[in-house]
Amino acid sequence: EPEVTQTPSHQVTQMGQEVILRCVPISNHLYFYWYRQILGQKVEFLVSFYNNEISEKSEIFDDQFSVERPDGSNFTLKIRSTKLEDSAMYFCASSDEAGGKGEQYFGPGTRLTVT
Amino acid sequence: KNEVEQSPQNLTAQEGEFITINCSYSVGISALHWLQQHPGGGIVSLFMLSSGKKKHGRLIATINIQEKHSSLHITASHPRDSAVYICAVLSYNTDKLIFGTGTRLQVFP
C-alpha cells in the first residue's frame, strides 16, 4: 500500500541553525500539508500546498518557515533559524482531494529537537 | 475555548467492552476526521465523514451536523486498540484541519 515517508526520523539541531525536513507524499496526490505536535500538546496545522504554491497557512507559519516541492516528488519544510520552541514532532500529509473531500495520509513524523 | 472538544480525555476499558469517544465542535465544517495516534507517534486516518455514519470493522463513526457532534465507537475492544484517538474538523471553505486534544484509550486484557 502506498505510504507517505519522512526523513529524518529524528533531527537534533542547535538554536539558530537551519533545518530541512523532507517528505515524499503518495505519488498521485496533489495536496500536501505540514503539521506539528509539541510534546504533550495537540496537533496543529502549519501549511497546505497545492499546485506549487501555499494555499493556506496558520499564524505559526511565519517568515522563518518555508515549503517547496523542489523535484516533483519531495515536499520540504525549511525552518531558517530554529528556536527552542520549534522542538516538536512534524508530520507531513498528502491527499488526492482538497477541501475535506479527500482522506489525508500522514507520514511517520520527524522529531525535531532544538538545543 | 477550543474549537474542537473531545471527551473523555482518558479512558480505560477491559477487553471486550464497547467504547464511545465524543467530539463536539463550534465552527462550521465541511468534514470531520477521526485519527488514531499510536504510542510511537504515527497518525493513521480512521474515518472522514460529512454526514451520517461510517463503519469499518469494529469501528463506527457518526456525525450530527445540526448538533455539531460526532462519536467514535469501538465494539469488542482489544488491547491493540490502545492509542490516542483524535477528532479533527475541516473548517468550512478552508483546507485547514483543526484538531482536538485527543482521547487516550487503554484497553486491558
Tens of pLDDT along A6-63? 999 999 999 999 999 999 999 989 999 999 999 999 999 999 999 899 999 999 999 9
pLDDT number for residue B103: 98
| pLDDT tens digits, B59-69 | 999 999 999 99
Quote the Cα angle for B1-B61-A50, to 5°: 70
Q: Is the CA virtual torsion B21, B93, A48, A32 positive or negative?
A: positive
pLDDT number for residue A110: 97
Q: Nearest by CB to A58, which of B48, B96, B101?
A: B96
A48, A31 Cβ separation under 8 angstroms = yes
Q: Nearest by CB to B101, which of A42, A99, A109?
A: A42
pLDDT number for residue B101: 95
Measured distance CA(B3)–CA(B88) in Å, rounded: 10
A81, A16 Cβ separation under 8 angstroms = yes
End-to-end CA distance of chain A, in Å?
Answer: 37
A48, B95 Cβ separation under 8 angstroms = yes
Check CB contact under 8 Å for B48 and A42: no
Task: Reply yes or no on whether the pLDDT at A100 is more than 70.
Answer: no
Q: Under 8 Å CB-to-CB from A65, ≥6 apart: which residues?
A: A46, A47, A77, A78, A79, A80
Q: How confident is the model at residue A99 (pLDDT cuts 50, 70, 90)?
A: low
A64-83 b/e with 16+ CB inside 10 Å = b?
Answer: ebebebeeeeebbbebeebe
End-to-end CA distance of chain B, in Å?
Answer: 36
| pLDDT tens digits, B69-94 | 999 999 999 999 999 999 999 988 78
Check CB contact under 8 Å for A43 and B86: yes
The continuous run of DSSP H or E covering A89 comes out as strand A88-95
| pLDDT tens digits, B26-42 | 999 989 999 999 988 88
- And the C-alpha cell for B5? 472538544
Region for B58 from its dihedrals, namely left if φ exceeds 0, alpha if ψ lies in -120 to 50, beta otherwise: alpha
Picking from B23, B25, B43, B87 by the largest number of A CB atoms within 10 A of its own CB, the best residue to mutate is B43
For chain B, give the percent of residues with pLDDT over 70: 99
Measured distance CA(B28)–CA(B104) in Å, rounded: 26
Q: How confident is the model at residue B96 (pLDDT cuts 50, 70, 90)?
A: confident
